[in-house]
Structure 1
């Protein structure tokens, strides 16, 4: 479980990119129109203005996930991905579900 004083750094395991439904909002499409080509649109606007989603659960993961487990649209990735926290309870559960050990906190040394 992450705490306020514990910091984690993503190690690029890709577990979250293979096991989530990623909510897509209008701002995401404005940043990267390719997202609209890949998302599954909602018939009715969703919660908080969601207009669609990327299904990262099927077909081995997010369509934008590269072979090296890095995001192919990192600088313009969806807002939900930007806000996703390495080491969060959800991150740790995705790792465990994928058979990957828990992410360890970063070592913080005093200067």
Structure 2
């Protein structure tokens, strides 16, 4: 379990850095497309930019770092498993998003 406590934040940041790199172009492309999107999605895409997204990622990483330290230091691995499950749900959200938009971030 100790190895997972070290590897998970690294995997998390790899995923988030990929999103930071590709999100602006993806948002512009989807926003300007003719696809029917819910209004909330259109508004979110319209207002998104790399700086805002990077700040959100930094906040998430700091929270993950604190949670990792807490779980490792106090041996609360059940909480850490919950965090990993939450991340898995996040990834499932990306799969659903890809199926809905019929497009993947490139």
Q: What TM-score bracket applies, with the shorter chain setting the length?
A: under 0.3
Name whichever structure is richer in helix by fraction: 2
> Which TM-score applies when normalising by structure 1?
0.27
> Which TM-score applies when normalising by structure 2?
0.27
Q: Which has the higher Rg, Structure 1 or Structure 2?
A: 2
